[in-house]
Structure 1
Amino acid sequence: MLHHATLSTDHGSDLSGADNRDLSFDFAKGILIILVIVGHLLQYVVYRGNGYWDSPYFKSIYMFHMPLFMAISGYLSSRALLRKSFARSVNERAIQLLLPTLFWYALLETAKVAVFLPSSSIVDVDVLNDLVGSYWFIWATFASFLVVKVLVTIFRRSSMWIVCMSAIAVAVLPVTFSIVPLIRYTYPFFCLGFLLSQSAECRTRVLPRKKPLLMFSLAAITCACFLAWSKETYVYNNLALIHDTASAGRVVLMYAGSAAASWIAFEIIVQLWKFSSSNRMARFVAMELGQSTLLLYLLQGTIFRLMDLIQFGDLWNLSTRISVAGMLGASIVVIAMTIRFIVRDLRWSSRIIVGTLPRSEAVKA
């Protein structure tokens, strides 16, 4: 899946001007964060209610976008996992991911109290769900990084085999509390990305020779899983929990479909980048959106969580909903890019709000 490019930079580092940065990964992340926003627009605006579970567009996105995001994160985290000390790598990752998450969570709660909740009423705010559920992918990424780092630190030479076994163990772990099912679903893909970053011989010798047959097989698996995919195949509904033959089939279908679709999607994205890398729009996706995925994810997560408190669109026709979704999606991107432009040279603001080093420090790094 990730054999096209060599590991060039740590995930989330803001080295947009560095010569060794592989922009194909940034382009992939840019495409994926767009799909995250589109998926939420389908859920919150286009389909009000539960109709989105049966949407072929929703299904097409949700089969692969978060698993592929996690695989890329695991791949690009290889340097921090292998070359940095435990304390340094975990500290850097916590500052990068959790500090901005806490900032946007505080903004979310402030907006709920000041704007959406009547000042005279006492409301039981689900604080934990807001903090964890709204930004679950950030917590899943940090948890995956932490677990793999612990395994690599303890087992060292045999750590690759241990990481591989941990992916299987976590996937079948019968725990359904809070966002644990989402972590169990995405953790194996983080491990897959990390393991592929270490499999140089497989990427450079084996895969190119077997690529046509591999791509055909994966495409066939993806199509078959797409046709068999249903509401109960989503991790949000099956919780990745196996308790009988039927549930085992759904969980296997979910993992197989997500893995195959992620691989095919990455191949398509990489080829698209090869043909359009000189295009202005493609470079905007890579250098602006792809290097602002944390900010975009946190911003859209905050906005869509607030939309849970708004009743709207019940009487709108489909064309109106699509128009509103398009304007909202564009607004999210514009707001995020404006925030990034404003804080990119402000040391602590850049760290806290965007999760990146200021531009001057990033160039030095």
Structure 2
Amino acid sequence: MLDHTTVGATERGSRSAGANERDLSFDFVKGVLIILVIMGHLLQSVIYRDTDGFWLSPYFKSIYMFHMPLFMAISGYLSSGAIVRKSFTRGVNDRAGQLLLPMIFWCALIWAAKFFVIAPLSSLTGELLDFSMEFIGTYWFIWAAFASFLLIKLFTTSNRLSMCIIGASAIVVAFVPITLSIAPLVRYTYPFFCLGFLFAQSIAWQTSVILRHKSLLMVLLSMVTCLCFLAWGKETYAYNNLVLIHDAQSAKQVLLMFAGSGAASAVAMQFMFQCWRVGCSVRAARFVAVELGQSTLLLYLVQGAVFRLMDLIKFGELWDLTTRIAVAGVLGVAIVVIAITIRRIVRDLGYVSRVVVGAPPRSGLLKSQSVIN
């Protein structure tokens, strides 16, 4: 996820020919998706505070059907250049620095806020255990992105067989019965990372076939999306079914989840691309692309810290729906403002920029003529 520097390749395939300008259409899609991530957490943490009603909310369902799968597919697509061109050691080291280093910083920040301000523990062992759980669980998507990159990098050692191996691995990983910690969420999103990567490797005739039948495909995928939306329930989420098949009913839910997520992701992607083509000159659209789409990792880290700390504070039990919506709106804007402010403060501070936002300082990018964030 996140930024081109975090899970994206430094260049898309089309840029390898010498294009020097960043494709803002992908930034726009990423910007919209990170807004949906924040909205989904606002629904869960503020609108439906202390209840399970969000599982049945049509708004929550509309967001969660596709936002993380599509984020992972884009990550796989944009990561393809780094996976193919870089050596294993360099690729993994770069990815770890871009993803894991800022995650450690923000997890430490959450831990410090919890134990020195909100809910201090008396046991050192308890504090270390809680930090380890925070480190793994709070930013599960970063772990999923890193693990997916690592697996694909391993599977691309054989050029002749790598595409088939990656396709097979998507199925094997998705259905391997491991439910420990965040493993179900990694298994759920990994196939979409593979799909994005494979699309980036598509040869010309495959691309032309898709383009030739694009309208028909979109109609069929839209119909599948609507049907899956109607059938979607609490047990269709990976958080609840753990991507585990043990009987006919669980198989139905897991297959419904993958089919609905895949179809909805394709439809949403196409819709957002069309929105960008129409509104790319509009100031609001460019704000989403440049300010949000190029800061998705930082926005994900900031909102994760905010919502994790909110879980420890009792508030809003007596608020009416109007108040909750108003608070959610203010909180969502505050998260964006905080993230943008942090980005502007640290982007020229060298190593601080790498630690806090997972990106090299802006001056270094300008010197290297890079197209990445």
TM-score, structure 2 normalization: 0.92
Q: For residue 257 of structure 1, what is the amino acid of its counterpart?
A: G
Q: CA deviation at 1:128?
A: 2.5
Say whether the 8 Å CA contact 2:10–2:81 is kept in structure 1. no
Q: For residue 31 of structure 2, what is the amino acid of its counterpart?
A: G
Matched with 1:357 is: 360
Rounded to whole Å, the distance in 2 between the matches of 1:20 and 1:11 is 18
Change (3 A) 1:235 1:10: closer
Say whether the 8 Å CA contact 2:66–2:264 is kept in structure 1. yes
| Correspondence 1:248 to 2:251 | yes
The match for 1:297 among 300, 304, 314 is 300
Say whether the 8 Å CA contact 1:133–1:179 is kept in structure 2. yes
Runs of 5+ unmatched residues, structure 1 = 1-7
Change (3 A) 1:285 1:14: farther
Q: CA deviation at 1:119?
A: 6.9
Q: For residue 139 of structure 1, what is the amino acid of its counterpart?
A: W
Rounded to whole Å, the distance in 1 between the matches of 2:304 and 2:6 is 24
Q: CA deviation at 1:21?
A: 1.1
Matched with 1:4 is: none
Matched with 1:129 is: 133
Matched with 2:118 is: 116
Deviates more, 1:40-49 or 1:196-205: 196-205
| Correspondence 1:227 to 2:230 | yes
Say whether the 8 Å CA contact 1:10–1:80 is kept in structure 2. no
Change (3 A) 1:122 1:76: closer
Say whether the 8 Å CA contact 2:54–2:60 is kept in structure 1. yes
Say whether the 8 Å CA contact 1:74–1:194 is kept in structure 2. yes
| Correspondence 1:104 to 2:106 | yes
The match for 1:259 among 258, 262, 266 is 262
Say whether the 8 Å CA contact 1:10–1:76 is kept in structure 2. no
- 1:191-230 to 2 correspondence within 5 Å? 191-202=194-205, 204-230=207-233
Rounded to whole Å, the distance in 2 between the matches of 1:120 and 1:132 is 22
Q: For residue 235 of structure 1, what is the amino acid of its counterpart?
A: A
Deviates more, 1:282-291 or 1:201-210: 201-210
Q: For residue 63 of structure 1, what is the amino acid of its counterpart?
A: M
SS at match of 1:124: helix
Q: CA deviation at 1:150?
A: 0.6
Matched with 1:39 is: 40
- 1:1-365 to 2 correspondence within 5 Å? 11-12=7-8, 19-48=20-49, 49-118=51-120, 124-125=126-127, 126-153=130-157, 155-202=158-205, 204-365=207-368
Q: CA deviation at 1:121?
A: 8.2
Deviations 1:287-312 (A, max 9, x none): 11001000000111111111110111
Matched with 1:5 is: none
Change (3 A) 1:30 1:215: same
Q: For residue 169 of structure 2, what is the amino acid of its counterpart?
A: S
TM-score, structure 1 normalization: 0.94
Rounded to whole Å, the distance in 1 between the matches of 2:206 and 2:334 is 40
Q: CA deviation at 1:357?
A: 1.1
Rounded to whole Å, the distance in 1 between the matches of 2:145 and 2:124 is 34
Q: For residue 25 of structure 1, what is the amino acid of its counterpart?
A: F
Q: Percent identity?
A: 63
Runs of 5+ unmatched residues, structure 2 = 12-18, 369-373
C-alpha RMSD of the superposition? 1.8
Say whether the 8 Å CA contact 1:99–1:355 is kept in structure 2. yes
Say whether the 8 Å CA contact 1:71–1:194 is kept in structure 2. yes
Say whether the 8 Å CA contact 1:151–1:163 is kept in structure 2. yes
Rounded to whole Å, the distance in 1 between the matches of 2:367 and 2:5 is 14
Change (3 A) 1:161 1:12: closer
Say whether the 8 Å CA contact 1:12–1:356 is kept in structure 2. no
Rounded to whole Å, the distance in 2 between the matches of 1:191 and 1:338 is 34
How many residue pairs end up in the alignment? Answer: 355
Rounded to whole Å, the distance in 1 between the matches of 2:44 and 2:23 is 33
Q: CA deviation at 1:362?
A: 1.1
